[in-house]
Amino acid sequence: MTKKIAKIGLISISDRASSGQYEDKGIPSLLSWLEKVVISDFEHIETVIPDDKQLIEAKLIEFSDDKLCDLILTTGGTGPAPRDVTPEATLAVATKIMPGFGERMRQISALFVPTAILSRQEAVIRSSQNHSSLIVNLPGQPKAIAETLEGLPGQKVDGIFAAIPYCIELIGGPTIETDPLYIKSFRPSSAKRPEIINSITLEPPKGRATSSIIMLHGLGADASDFASFREELLSVGAPVQSTRFVLPHAPVRPITMNNGYPMRGWFDLFSLEDISEEDDVGIEQTWRIVRRLISEEQSRGIPRNRIFLGGFSQGGCMAMFSALKLSEPIGGIFSLSGYLPLINSHQVEHMGKGILTPIFVGYGLQDSVVLPIYTEMSIKELQKLGAVNLWSHGYPGMEHYLGQEETIDLAKFLTTCLAEVN
């Protein structure tokens, strides 16, 4: 399966919006929804055009054959009015018709309005010599767009987007991953799982995994540093016999503090003594990887409240940062010898309910790599931002490593968190 980034075309079809009589709402609504739900990288192109059949056909062909969009979403022009010709134009460029999408959209809309039967949305595949696109006609109103894409999770009604990622894979396109908080994309058990990042995955010695720990290593190390982490935790009483350990390798990148020498790191580092200059781009890139790793564990059947994210040093920084970025809590977060990156940045303001996750912060009081003052500042910031279940401890005499007393406390934290969800 190709690893290329998905390309999504957004086409709003409206005489008045294309002429500037009013502001188009279809594309902004679509893009906002996609950015909320799609957690894998994607790029998009967009256009607003009038209700003209030949023009719509030409734009669909351009987006599919020339721009190589994997998914093309149109909004507007699907009703019975004389100028509503989007379905006709869509069918005219099709190589295969996918009637189930339109049927499902009308079923969802009929739960709200009887006029749903007037909608004529279509979905088709357009294939050229080396590329195929899925084209889907969506409604024109933002509320209806979200309903048909997302469905009604509270009523166990799936939206159409649950089937779109696998459809795109079947026609040779890239993997699109979704946040299961909003959309649980369906893939049969035989389908290849998305490769997020090179990782070591350690399944339980016996039986199926009932919990997961995602562990991020420190700067210059790799995932093998925590290959025996299960045994270390078991030795001090942590209930991790049935836990899957996901140990990702950080990408290799130049590290400014080390004169640009390339090594594995979750973000660039400029200084140990002064953290005022930070790699916000690298931190954000790693956060997207972390979000995908958590989503993948949910897709593999692990309940969200039994998924743990931890890290040491730079990995601990990313674990702590994730507490501010997660939209909903997970089972627990632990940061060992780390600090909260971007603590003085606007980034920390963009937080959801992830701050309510149980958080463990451990650090050495004699740490000369990550200075204790930065960890202590981070603890106060987490408390200020709403962390209500925060375990924190500074260990006398401990330098920049995972100590025995800290491992015992971490085991108690994991035991408590897992006991609360049993």
Q: Which tens digits make up the pLDDT trace of 329-339?
A: 999 999 999 99
The pLDDT, as a whole number, for residue 18 is: 83
- Please compute the mean of the pLDDT values over residues 348-352 and round it to a whole number: 62
pLDDT band at 36; cut points 50, 70, 90: very high
The span from the CA of 159 to the CA of 176, in Å, is: 16
CATH code, residues 6-170:
3.40.980.10
The per-residue b/e assignment along 263-293, b for 16 or more CB within 10 angstroms, e otherwise, is ebbbbbbeeeeebeebbeebbeebbebbbbb
The pLDDT, as a whole number, for residue 126 is: 98
The span from the CA of 70 to the CA of 202, in Å, is: 34
- Please compute the mean of the pLDDT values over residues 284-291 and round it to a whole number: 94
199-420 matches 6-170 in CATH topology:
no
Is residue 400 annotated as a catalytic residue, yes or no? yes
The span from the CA of 271 to the CA of 277, in Å, is: 8
Q: Which of 367, 378, 392, 409 is catalytic?
A: 367
The span from the CA of 57 to the CA of 52, in Å, is: 9
The span from the CA of 409 to the CA of 422, in Å, is: 20
Q: Is the pLDDT of residue 2 over 70?
A: no
The pLDDT, as a whole number, for residue 16 is: 85
Share of the chain above pLDDT 90, in %: 82
pLDDT tens for residues 90-109?
A: 999 999 999 999 999 999 99
The pLDDT, as a whole number, for residue 22 is: 84
The pLDDT, as a whole number, for residue 351 is: 65
For residues 241 and 142, the model is more confident at 241
- Please compute the mean of the pLDDT values over residues 167-190 and round it to a whole number: 90
CATH code, residues 199-420:
3.40.50.1820
Q: Is the pLDDT of residue 130 over 60?
A: yes
* Domain edges within the chain: 6-170, 199-420
Mean pLDDT score of the chain: 93
Q: Is the pLDDT of residue 235 over 50?
A: yes
Is residue 32 annotated as a catalytic residue, yes or no? no
- Please compute the mean of the pLDDT values over residues 382-408 and round it to a whole number: 96
165 and 176 Cβ atoms separated by less than 8 Å: yes
Q: Is the pLDDT of residue 192 over 80?
A: no
The pLDDT, as a whole number, for residue 1 is: 38
Q: Which of 12, 18, 64, 313 is catalytic?
A: 313
CA-wise closest residue to 412 among 357, 332, 356, 354: 332
The pLDDT, as a whole number, for residue 418 is: 94
Is residue 242 annotated as a catalytic residue, yes or no? no
Lowest mean pLDDT among 19-23, 205-209, 223-227: 19-23
